[in-house]
Structure 1
């Protein structure tokens, strides 16, 4: 039987998106059966005064769960699935190279395959969200991600492996761009760090699983049953959790502009031309280091094939811990000086890793490098999204992440081609050079503009 409960709550860290409209009542309404009828997330949280809000959600016993927490939970689940696949290729790269007997230059095509799928999804995401809604895009993402995983699970010929990676990149790209746009509506760097922490959790798990499979003598393709099963579960959850979600452009009070008009408005924003190269550099550092670290540890540092995977997990553990730490409400990283210091610290850690040959120290330094790099991507996304209006965030995030994929793909790809000629020993100086360039770019970030 339906009942209505009324109470007053304090504002939490999750600030409602800007497109929410004021409403005079000073109470909170929620239904124990789910979302309020005829309301979406975009209009369910109504600001009243600095200390009280109208919030939609549902009650389980004495626990009331707001819609915004449901949306954040669904977003974290999706990006966790993306993280599972992100490090799998780097951890599996030596096994795939050995299985197909390919040189570095050819096996590096796996990075180009993922880029192709990601790029397509970034181009189409904004249009598809407007056409079929956020839930429709997420269900489609789950479908392509599952099909790609299923292809790889059977260890097909290498050309089919490329097709599978394209499909996984397509699904992962829709997850990444769509859900990042959703979370950016909270306008909180802390929340963005929480969101990307789940990407780190997924990335952390893959090397452990692959390392255990390698140690047991199990073929590399068996791992891909994990992302396949996960994608099925995430798709079912998204079908339920995003049932009533509406993006700002779907709200009747959003700006009514065509794609060309919004794109033209976006290109006149200074932050776009700073955010794009920052994202390219950040993605290039993370993907080059994450995808080639296992091979570097085996061939240059002399680590075992299974131990190198666990050391890669230390990198992702550090990256995840960094994002969790900097998501704490009492921790604040300034947009220029703070991010510059973190990237400079990353350069120092990689410099020690390069020059000092000590197995115990390698474990610590790899984790420290990940810790310093962790807040980089969520910090850049927050910097960009805070400087654009809510109605443009979906398109802006798609473009920025899509351009960032240039670095995510060309970084490992070009490095693989060069490493095939001069060796993997150049990995640390390449990462240091990219990190120092990124540190300089942060000082070009324009100040925030005040807006209602």
Structure 2
């Protein structure tokens, strides 16, 4: 039997989500998943033998030019999430006297935030099936907007804490959908690097703005008036760019939502990635959130000055995601993650052993630089080692559970610090970095295919 070699053009620029096309101004017939074809030369695609089962719902990688509006809105949503996460730690020295509370009650803020992320982790796939990607992004942005409406006027402490529950749900829905969306465009490793670099940029500007407002005025809570204004822009952008099919799920997706989540959780790789992300984001936000309090209490730093050190950490993280994305892709993502973890451990050990604020500021920035590429690299690897028909459920769950670590470990650090002092930050970070290396070792190698 003769073999005919056919050059297959790149796929039509649309995204197949829940058996319907998601396009930017174009209406393209749904892609027939029964005869799914991987384009020649597409490094990001799954191996040829890893075809989705008949009738499965999968993404087709679009050209970036056709979804640039959606990329813009998801990137802005993640930027605002970074502003939120980066500012909480910088405001701790002002939050305590304002409400007359100790570190344990400050840590409760992170615990309540964690509960919001946890709820979102198990409801995300069901909500996506009913509302579609744009609908879930919009609902998440609405939760975030509501939370800032409660926070900016310095409400009673119980209400202020409750707002972090709403914030956790809102950020979780947006984060999971943004990661799934960007992970499935062409050259996703590069766009994931940009997406998470913008998170770092938001976390860089967040402490700068928060510290400036808190140090120069008596109204530290006015920082949330700034984020409230940006939340309005965020909500409008998401509604505008995802308006095609907004809040429209499909009957097939609704029926398969529970099954998809069960299948995703039955994948060992999903569990391991979730734990890796859980420790990683916990490391990231614990370091950025508690370093200011550490420098004040252990290094005797001036609160009005060391508050900016947190921005150095997030600045390093942003730069790392921009500079190291292509390097990681070319040299091998799996091995480079191990290299970055080792370098991060070195920076953290120097930070611990050298009691000098300037040296600490440099090392915390380097820690951020080497931590930076780990999350986007993990998402990129996930798209290659997980079945494509489970990307929504598996990547959404792993990313959301990972972000839950942004609340769990800062809470744990604060709870221990309330009894033993903020010096526990250093062994906590070293333990988290070591745990990340262990879990990453269980991630399967990416199987590459020839075109």
TM-score for both structures, normalised by structure 2: 0.83
CA distance in 2, matches of 1:282, 1:85: 18
Q: Does the 8 Å contact 1:40/1:245 carry over to 2?
A: no
Offset at residue 319 of structure 1 (A):
0.4
CA distance in 2, matches of 1:69, 1:330: 24
- Which range moves more in the overlay, 363-372 or 134-143? 134-143
The gaps in structure 2 that reach 5 residues or longer are 1-8, 18-22, 43-59
CA distance in 2, matches of 1:441, 1:305: 36
Deviations 1:98-142 (A, max 9, x none): 111111112210001211222222222211121111221122122
Offset at residue 15 of structure 1 (A):
11
CA distance in 2, matches of 1:154, 1:134: 32
Match of 2:112 in 1: 113
Match of 1:358 in 2: 356
Match of 2:207 in 1: 207
Match of 2:167 in 1: 168
Structure 1 position 198 matched with structure 2 position 223:
no
Give secondary structure in 2 for the equivalent of 1:298: helix
Offset at residue 85 of structure 1 (A):
0.7
Matches within 5 A, 1:264-279: 264-279=262-277
CA distance in 1, matches of 2:173, 2:72: 17
Match of 2:333 in 1: 335
Give secondary structure in 1 for the equivalent of 2:332: coil
Deviations 1:205-224 (A, max 9, x none): 11100121122133221000
CA distance in 1, matches of 2:12, 2:360: 40
Offset at residue 50 of structure 1 (A):
6.1
Matches within 5 A, 1:29-428: 35-37=25-27, 66-186=65-185, 188-244=188-244, 258-328=256-326, 332=330, 334-428=332-426
Q: Does the 8 Å contact 2:295/2:306 carry over to 1?
A: yes
CA distance in 2, matches of 1:395, 1:419: 36
CA distance in 1, matches of 2:253, 2:385: 17
CA distance in 2, matches of 1:397, 1:443: 19
Aligned mate of 2:444, from 430, 443, 446? 446
CA distance in 1, matches of 2:30, 2:300: 55
Indicate how the Cα distance of structure 1 residues 261 and 147 shifts in structure 2: closer, same or farther if over 3 A, else same.
closer
CA distance in 2, matches of 1:242, 1:405: 24
Q: Does the 8 Å contact 1:83/1:202 carry over to 2?
A: yes
Q: Does the 8 Å contact 1:134/1:245 carry over to 2?
A: no
Give secondary structure in 2 for the equivalent of 1:357: coil
Q: Does the 8 Å contact 1:82/1:199 carry over to 2?
A: yes
Deviations 1:400-435 (A, max 9, x none): 133324533221112111111111112112211211
TM-score for both structures, normalised by structure 1: 0.83
Deviations 1:55-112 (A, max 9, x none): 999xxxxxxx822322222210111111111112111111111111111112210001
Match of 2:45 in 1: none
CA distance in 2, matches of 1:111, 1:326: 30
Match of 1:60 in 2: none
Q: Does the 8 Å contact 1:17/1:42 carry over to 2?
A: no
Deviations 1:7-64 (A, max 9, x none): xxx98xx9978859xxxxxxxxxx9xx7124668999xx998769xx9999xxxxxxx
Q: Does the 8 Å contact 1:17/1:185 carry over to 2?
A: no
- CA RMSD in angstroms comes to 3.3
CA distance in 2, matches of 1:416, 1:410: 10
Paired residues, number: 416
Q: Does the 8 Å contact 2:75/2:198 carry over to 1?
A: yes
